[in-house]
Amino acid sequence: MNDPNFQNDDLLDIHNLKTYFFTREGVVRAVDGVDFKVKVGEIFGLVGESGCGKSVTSLSILRLVNPPGRVVDGSILFQGRNLLELTDAEMRQVRGNRISMIFQQPLPSLDPIRPIGDQIVEALLVHKKMDQRQAWKHAVDLLNLVGIPDASRRSHSYPFELSGGMAQRAMIAIALSCEPELLIADEPTTALDVTIQAQILELLCDLRSRLGMAIILITHDLGVVAEMADWVSVMYAGRVVEEASVNSLFEEPLHPYTRGLIESIPVLDQDRKRLNAIPGVVCDCINMPAGCKFAPRCKVQIEKNMTICNKHEPHLLEVSPNHKVRCWLYEEFSH
């Protein structure tokens, strides 16, 4: 199935991805020129606030964007093949088999009227050509793998009989059933309690090292990213504004938005009387500002009175080997 020319260790290579929604009110540029690469076995964090386009990016990878949305430009190379050029039948072989996804809300994502074992078996029958008995046995093994106690009995449970943490484990089991090379986890722990979140994060880390799959971890929680990810992209208004290795990003955040995000969360071992909040709200997604999309909320832009920010959009520049940023402050590095 692999492209014979596929040699390097980039599992996924997204280039200039643009997904627009053509609504009656106007065109929403939900994802507007996103580039990133995910390496084999890597945990790649995609961070941003609601509406920044991180979920639409992941749906675009799986070609699950529904009208009025459409991928209008770009390429998504998975193991060297452009997913956007596959036929629907070929795409079905990728979806759930090579790339699978888990969602924020486990319960609405599971079929409420079928036992969870049955839902794992379904994927195995479609993709792995197992018979019913083998598939059930494998399903129970998977439930064991994700840490569901008493798995053989639990495989007959319906989703409503599971707690939030257990349902999330069951969904991970379904996602893992075909041993995908890439798992997209869209806010996998946001709906869970802190102690359960810790369990699920540890499970994901453990599965990554045991199965060697790559994970795209989509989250708004910088703490989760710092803990899990190897490489991070920060998104704002449909664009990647900063991309770096996790250490580089947290040691030396360059973009004013990233800095603002890091400073605005209360941290246990620090005492700050006031939080450094980012002023204003995320810009209107139909009438975006002309220049840098963050400029109206940017303290640096206002302090230094940089007129260029409101006129032209900066490029994503490589400032140091492990660090890219989209901001006029760093534009001198390119010359």
Q: In the complex with other proteins, which residue's Cβ is closer, 27 or 281?
A: 281
Q: In the complex with other proteins, which residue's Cβ is closer, 89 or 277?
A: 277
* β-strands 323-325, 239-245 pairing: antiparallel
Q: What does residue 3 show for φ and ψ, rounded to 5 degrees?
A: -70, 130
Rounded to an integer, what distance in angstroms lies between the CA atom of residue 152 and that of residue 138? 11
SS3 per-residue string spanning 223-281: HHHHHHCCEEEEEECCEEEEEEEHHHHHHCCCCHHHHHHHHHCCCCCCCCCCCCCCCCC
Q: To the nearest whole angstrom, how small is the minimum distance from the Cβ of residue 66 to other proteins?
A: 23
Pick the piece of the chain touching other proteins (CB under 8 A) from 20-28, 72-80, 178-186, 224-232. 224-232
Side chain identity at residue 55, one-letter code:
S
36-55 positions binding other proteins, by CB under 8 A: 49-50
> Is residue 223 near other proteins by the rule CB under 8 A?
yes
Q: To the nearest whole angstrom, how small is the minimum distance from the Cβ of residue 318 to other proteins?
A: 21
- Which of 23, 163, 307, 334 contacts other proteins by CB under 8 A? 163
Rounded to an integer, what distance in angstroms lies between the CA atom of residue 74 and that of residue 84? 9
* β-strands 43-47, 214-219 pairing: parallel
Q: To the nearest whole angstrom, how small is the minimum distance from the Cβ of residue 201 to other proteins?
A: 7
Rounded to an integer, what distance in angstroms lies between the CA atom of residue 264 and that of residue 259? 9
* DSSP-assigned letter for residue 191: T
- Which of 3, 26, 64, 198 contacts other proteins by CB under 8 A? 198
Pick the piece of the chain touching other proteins (CB under 8 A) from 25-33, 71-79, 192-200, 327-335. 192-200
Pick the piece of the chain touching other proteins (CB under 8 A) from 31-39, 97-105, 178-186, 191-199. 191-199
Q: Which residues form the interface with other proteins (CB under 8 A)?
A: 49-50, 163, 165-166, 193-199, 201-202, 220-227, 246-247, 250, 260-262, 264-269, 272, 274-279, 281-282
